[in-house]
Structure 1
Amino acid sequence: MAVPGSASGFVGRKARSVLGQVGDLFVIVLEGLRRSWDVKSWWWEFVDQCWFLARVTSVPVLLVSLPLGATVALQVGELAWQLGAGSATGSAVFVGLIREVAPLASALLIAGAGGSAMTSDIGARHIRDELSAMEVMSVNPIHRLVTPRMWAAGTIAVCLCPLVILAGASGGYFFNVVVQGVTPGAYFDGALSLVVSSDLYVTLFKAWIFGFIAAAVACYKGMTCATSPVGVGRAVNQATVVTFMLVFTFNYVISAVYFLAYPPRSL
Structure 2
Amino acid sequence: MRRPDPVSRALTQVGELFALALDTLRAIPKRPFPAKDLLEQFWFVTSVSWIPAMLVAIPFGAVIALQLGTLTVQVGAQSFTGAASVLAVVQQAAPIVTTLVIAGAGGAAICADLGARTIRDEIDAMKVIGISPVQALVVPRVLACVFSAVLLNGLVSVVGVLGGYFFNVIVQGGTPGAYLASFTALAQFSDLVVGEVKALIFGFLAGVVAAYRGLGTKPGPKGVGDSVNQSVVVTFLLLFFVNFVATTLYLQLVPGKAA
Normalised by the length of structure 1, the TM-score is 0.92
Distance 2:73 2:20 in 1: 51
Q: CA deviation at 1:14?
A: 1.1
- Deviation for aligned residue 1:40: 4.2
Which residue is equivalent to 1:214? 206
Q: Residue 117 of structure 2 aligns with which residue?
A: 125
CA distance in 1, matches of 2:258, 2:98: 28
Which residue of structure 1 aligns with residue 155 of structure 2?
A: 163
For 1:132-147, what aligned pairs fall within 5 Å after superposition? 132-147=124-139
For the residues of structure 2 that align with 1:109 and 1:39, how far apart are their CA atoms? 31
Q: Per-residue displacement from partner, 1:57-86 (whole Å, max 9, x unpaired)? A: 100111001111111111111121222222
Q: Is the 8 A contact 1:88 1:190 kept in 2?
A: yes
The alignment status of 1:175 with 2:175, answered yes or no, reads: no
Paired position in structure 1 for 2:248: 256
User: Could you tell me how far apart the structure 2 residues matched to 1:114 and 1:207 are?
Assistant: 15
Structure 2 distance, partners of 1:87, 1:65, is: 23
Note the C-alpha offset of 1:261. Answer: 0.7
Shift of the alpha carbon at 1:13? 1.3
- Contact 2:126/2:133 (8 A) holds in 1: yes
Correspondent of 1:90 among 46, 57, 82: 82
- Deviation of the 1:182 alpha carbon: 2.0
Structure 1 gap ranges (5+): none
In structure 2, the residue matched to 1:152 is 144
Gap runs ≥5 in structure 2? none
Match of 1:195 among 176, 187, 190: 187
Counterpart of 1:110 in structure 2 is: 102
2:58 is the counterpart of 1:32: no
Aligned residue number for residue 48 of structure 2: 56
Distance 2:56 2:157 in 1: 11
TM-score normalised by structure 2 residue count: 0.95
Percent sequence identity is 43
Deviations 1:198-248 (A, max 9, x none): 111111111101000001010000101111100110011111111111111
CA RMSD of aligned residues (A): 1.7
Give the structure 1 partner of residue 72 of structure 2: 80
